Amino acid sequence: MLAPVLKEIDQTTDPAIERLRQYLTIPSISGSPAHVAEVARAAHFTADALKACGLTARVEKTSGHPLVVAQTTPDIVANPGAPRVLFYGHYDVQPPEPLELWASPPFVPTLRDGAIYARGASDDKGQVHAFLEAVGAWMKVHGKLPGPLTILIEGEEEVGSAGLTGYLKAHAKELAADIVLISDTHLWAPGIPAIIYGLRGLVYFDVQLYHAQSDTHSGMYGGSYANPLTLLTQVLGQLFDEEHHITIPGFYEDVAELSGQELARWQELGFDEDAFLAQIGVHEPFGENGFDTLSRRWARPAGDLNGIWGGYQGPGSKTIIPTMAGAKVSFRIAPNQKAQRIARQFEHWLKSFDVHGCAWKVTSYTACDPVLLPVDSPWIAKAAVAIEHTCGRKPVLARDGATIPVVSSFKSLLGLDSLLVGFGLSDDNLHAPNEKFGLSNYTLARRTQAALLQELAR
């Protein structure tokens, strides 16, 4: 069944690129209040593209920007008893600024050096579009898809997916499926596909400490009362011990142990720690004692101060005791840790310190669970078959240290695991000027998505 679909895809590359080009002309900047109508236009473009494939698609209202939903009816499914795949993507994009750094305008898609340059080319319109093209090819060649399919393309991924979360809660039953397929990540390296099977969670806090009604003179008051900045630094300075372990009681209790098998498999990935760090100008790895860099990034929690402020920040000197100090503190939590539990533990730990009359103001911004799909999951096996078929090699099974909140939402709200199979490259300039998507990767994506539609329906 797949061979003629791949042939169709190979023969329609030029018109596919033209359709992608049109998609990328729409400035669907979800974070810009001035672009609300353009975001809606991209939703309708997405729905129309699905309808052109022969699917029934609708644009659904949410608390924010609309999302696009399509579900196959039994008449267009070859095997209606096959597992149902829920494909997720997003049609919204990051703001393009600074505009002066773009070689061609961000919403005038331009082909050069074998790639298409535009905001959203890789993140995520280009990858969504490749999937739609694969669906279209199946429908054109066979009039049917291999298995039941639900498609969910949202318009708020770049601004927190609030509307999607509400929609998932309200429509959990209708969205019942067997596996989520997401194409919003990248290849392991050029020509080397990857399946991401693990992500860290995120717990993020804003903590502020206050004392005195205003800044005071450090000569007159130094030594009289607790300086909130000194105290905040003292407290947060105790977040790590000498081995760079996080000192919050119970913090590591739930962390999933890393198996020797998994570690051995990672050894074979050829991860070059020195090159990875040299890219950002760093020459000394550092983290939790007793683990290598890949384990620290993928399988171990990490704590970071992401920001701090208080008192005088200008040139020269100003002799004040500031009235407050604040910090952003976050934890990337490892598989099996529970975000809500870590958040409670951190807040309890923070407030266990005597701050000598200062007052805390603590805000929790995010508490997102980590996710981990067992490496021996049959879904991974099926996806690997599809990928090997179109890429000519087995995919790398990798984790990622970052957090993709929608993956946690699919797990917690729909009970679904996610397969992360992406086709971008790490130098595609996501969220930066001159975003691009290699045309060969676009075609690899269309072909591999066609194969995934077949294999995941087995």
User: Considering only residues 292-311, where is the footprint of its own copies by CB under 8 A?
Assistant: 293, 296-297, 300-311
Q: Enter the tokens of residue 246.
A: 């996080």
402 contacts its own copies (rule: CB under 8 A): yes
Per-residue string for binding with its own copies, 241-280, x by CB under 8 A? -----------------------------------xx--x
Residue pointed to by tokens 């267009």 = 76
- For its own copies, the closer of residues 56 and 352 by Cβ is 352
Residue pointed to by tokens 């023969």 = 11
Near its own copies by CB under 8 A, which window of 3-11, 164-172, 204-212, 432-440?
Answer: 204-212
Q: At what angle do helices 125-142 and 13-24 cross, to 10 degrees?
A: 140
**Phi–psi pair at 237, nearest 5 degrees:** -65, -15
392 contacts its own copies (rule: CB under 8 A): no
321 contacts its own copies (rule: CB under 8 A): yes
Q: How far is the CB of 265 from its own copies (least distance, A)?
A: 19
Residue pointed to by tokens 């008192």 = 311
Near its own copies by CB under 8 A, which window of 79-87, 187-195, 401-409, 446-454?
Answer: 401-409
Q: How far is the CB of 419 from its own copies (least distance, A)?
A: 19
Q: From the list 240, 259, 290, 378, which residue makes contact with its own copies (rule: CB under 8 A)? A: 240
Contact indicator for 395, 195 with CB cutoff of 8 Å: yes
Binding-site size for its own copies (CB under 8 A) equals 79
Considering only residues 141 through 180, tell me which ones interact with its own copies, judged by CB under 8 A. Answer: none
Residue 198: strand, helix, or coil: strand
290 contacts its own copies (rule: CB under 8 A): no
Per-residue string for binding with its own copies, 323-362, x by CB under 8 A? --xxxx-x-x-----------------------xx-----
322 contacts its own copies (rule: CB under 8 A): yes
Q: How far is the CB of 43 from its own copies (least distance, A)?
A: 25
Q: At what angle do helices 36-53 and 13-24 cross, to 10 degrees?
A: 160
Q: How far is the CB of 320 from its own copies (least distance, A)?
A: 6
List beta partners, residue 59: 68
Q: How far is the CB of 234 from its own copies (least distance, A)?
A: 5
427 contacts its own copies (rule: CB under 8 A): no
Q: Which CB contacts under 8 angstroms, 24+ apart, belong to 21-24?
A: 21/109, 21/116, 21/118, 23/49, 23/91, 23/120, 23/125, 23/129, 24/107, 24/109, 24/116, 24/118, 24/119, 24/120, 24/121, 24/125, 24/126
How many Å apart are CA 64 and CA 384, to the nearest integer?
36
Q: From the list 366, 375, 389, 432, which residue makes contact with its own copies (rule: CB under 8 A)? A: 366
- For its own copies, the closer of residues 109 and 322 by Cβ is 322
Distances (CA, A) of 355 to 80, 207, 320, 321, 363: 63, 13, 19, 15, 18
Near its own copies by CB under 8 A, which window of 185-193, 216-224, 339-347, 388-396?
Answer: 216-224
Q: From the list 28, 208, 337, 403, which residue makes contact with its own copies (rule: CB under 8 A)? A: 403
33 contacts its own copies (rule: CB under 8 A): no
Distances (CA, A) of 423 to 109, 114, 116, 191, 350: 19, 15, 14, 9, 42
Q: Quick one: DSSP state of residue 282?
A: -
**Phi–psi pair at 422, nearest 5 degrees:** -120, 165
Closest CA to 346 of 330, 332, 360: 330
Near its own copies by CB under 8 A, which window of 39-47, 337-345, 379-387, 397-405?
Answer: 397-405
- For its own copies, the closer of residues 34 and 280 by Cβ is 280
Q: From the list 99, 143, 176, 365, which residue makes contact with its own copies (rule: CB under 8 A)? A: 365
Contact indicator for 251, 240 with CB cutoff of 8 Å: no
Q: From the list 39, 68, 145, 229, which residue makes contact with its own copies (rule: CB under 8 A)? A: 229
Sheet containing 436-438: order of strands: 110-112, 115-117, 436-438
Q: How far is the CB of 306 from its own copies (least distance, A)?
A: 5
